[in-house]
A = this chain, B = another copy of it.
């Protein structure tokens, strides 16, 4: 299948945010909603740094926000 893993880049280091991501939708207030093929969701307050679809990777990088506000996961 062709989902991707979403990573957050901080200080040059990649941290996995959510695997098997299918849906990516920008939020009006900034950041993105990510939903994977299992129905898990993550809200990430960051911007897209680069997408490498053949390598199944979506890289996000920080906006000005504090990291603790950046990722909010939930399962359906």
Q: Tell me the chain A residues, 20-44 only, with Cβ under 8 Å from chain B.
A: 21-26, 37
Question: Can you offer 13 A-B residue contacts whose CB atoms are under 8 A?
Answer: A1-B54, A2-B4, A2-B54, A2-B56, A3-B53, A23-B50, A23-B51, A23-B52, A24-B48, A24-B51, A24-B53, A25-B49, A53-B53
In the complex, A50→B49 CA distance in Å? 16
| B residues near A3, Cβ cutoff 8 Å | 53-54
Complex interface: chain B residues within 8 A of A24 (CB):
48, 50-51, 53
A-B pairs, top 5 by smallest CB distance, nearest first, are A2-B2, A24-B51, A22-B54, A25-B50, A22-B53
Compute how far the CA of A56 lies from the CA of B22 in the bound complex, rounded to whole angstroms. 9
